[in-house]
Amino acid sequence: MPLTLLSLVNQNPTIFYTLLLTLFSFALFLFKNRVKTTKSKWNLPPSPPKLPIIGHLHHHGTLPHRYFRDLSLKHGPLLWLNLARIPALLVSSANFAKEIIKHQDTIFADRFQSVSSRILTYGCKDISYASYGEIWRHKRKISTLGLLSQRRIRSFQFVREEEVSDLVDKIRRACINNNNCCVDVTELVTSASNCIISRCVIRKKFDEEDSICKFGELIRKLIIQLAELSMGDLFPWLGWVDFLTGKIGEFKDTFRALDAFFEEVLADHKKKMKRDDGNKDFVDILLQLQEDDMLGFDSDQDDLKAVLTDMFLGGNDTTSTTTEWTLTELMKHPSIMKKAQEEVRKVVGNKSKVEESDINEMKYVKLVVKETLRLHPPAPFLAPRETISDTKLGGYDIPRKTVIFFNTWAIHRDPEVWERAEEFIPERFEKTKIDFKGQDFGYFPFGFGKRICPGMKFGLTSVEYILANLLYWFEWKLPEGEDCDNIDMSETYGLTVKKKVPLCLEPKLYSFQSQTDTSI
């Protein structure tokens, strides 16, 4: 049986606490000397009050994006933070974001690699956590041109249509069976979006009975663990504590399960590589590129599995979270809901299904999604970056290997950038050219520059198609006793920020369906 921290205390508490006191004293000594050296060498940005040893670790709260916005309003839009041993910079201003985007994107293009990311993403061989450099550029090129190009996204149209059709059928059956039924929209949308990404990547659904696809819980565990900072991240000399507490064991258990799953998937696809049915998934494409020596770097099995890990990480939560928040805002604003539904039904007419080509004509729906992503960016801090070299920002020194947190959530709600910043107003985008490409300094829900999310188009296509169908086929009501003014908007924080309370609504089949063929 492995030794645990508790068993060590029980077996020999004197030795344990002596060791801990010694380490604490040594850490305090290093901390004081580091502070003294840092103060004499660097002109760092303003910093809020901190505690010995742990620095600013106590400054986060349960919703860090909100807490740090308030901290920035008090101390300034550029804040220096010491997260134990991790030097960090918090950027909460569109002006500083502009300076980085326009002039220093390369210097700020590296990625912070935590203990969990090194274990769970094959030594950071994926795209999200890989260090900036030549190999990373090749992997990103593969993802944007080979896996997530506009042509490739169109090739998966049949997957989106089938999964959204299943989603609509589930809600329709609920309506037929119970006139006043209440459905868990969060659960239904999450299932549909997960099945879309799963079928596009490995040709199978999350919820199939086949053992190869029973990994929804595994992906959720992966997402939670990647958001964790371990003792080894905060205090490298205390990394051994992560072994004693079982944290490293938990990471490795998740990794082994994930690795076994991908091994099975790759083996299965290699057996069928010679087929050419025109419906290749991401695994087929990666294996073909590897066989044709077109990846641009020497790759092994781990490289492919790391890229596949990213596909699930990037597509698992963001689509469902964005769709959920969009519907929540529409329920909170009935006039906007009415306007969006009128547009969808006018564009689609009385056709038997919503076609993806219809989405391009739904201008107002696209504005609604844009505004949702302004108020509710799925990842409020983006993925932390890291500086490649020493630099300056706003007249302050920023040392090499500083971890950079962009508080996108705060920037998107900055009253100096946005009029009536806290209000949901899709029309604000009507006469502007602001888009998702990360070139607008007050709006970058998918990131910007070299590290912008490569799956942006894939995710948006799914969000818009799911949303259009839900608006076309159903009228939506809040459960009895609720009204639009008291909808619970509380959040829960993780790699993405979700609604804390799932969105449950009463659907009603739209009246035109009784007069037309309702098959989808």
The binding site for heme consists of 453
Strand partners, 406: 91
For residues 139 and 127, is the Cβ–Cβ distance under 8 A? yes
Q: Which residue has the tokens 């300094």?
A: 441
How far out from the chain centre does Cα 247 lie? Answer: 23
Alpha-carbon gap, residue 300 to 302, rounded angstroms: 5
Q: Which structure tokens are listed for 113?
A: 């690699």
Give dist(CA 231, CA 239) in Å, integer.
6
Q: Would you say 384 and 112 are in contact if contact means Cβ atoms under 8 Å apart?
A: yes
CA angle in degrees (0–180, nearest 5) for 378-428-370: 25
Q: Which residues pair with 80 in a beta bridge?
A: 89
Distances in Å between the alpha carbon of 137 and those of 126, 132, 443, 451? 11, 7, 24, 10
- Residue keyed to tokens 């060590």: 8
Question: What is the crossing angle of helices 334-348 and 456-473, to 10°?
Answer: 90
- The pairs formed by 139-142 with CB atoms below 8 angstroms and a separation of 24 or more are 139/297, 139/303, 139/307, 140/450, 140/454, 141/296, 142/286, 142/289, 142/295, 142/296, 142/307
Element (H, E) at 82: strand 78-83
Annotated binding site: 453
Taking alpha carbons only, the member of 228, 218, 445 closest to residue 309 is 218
Could you report how far apart the first and last alpha carbons of the chain are, in Å? Answer: 56
Rg (CA), the chain: 25
DSSP 317-374: SHHHHHHHHHHHHHHH-HHHHHHHHHHHHHHHTT-SS--HHHHTT-HHHHHHHHHHHH
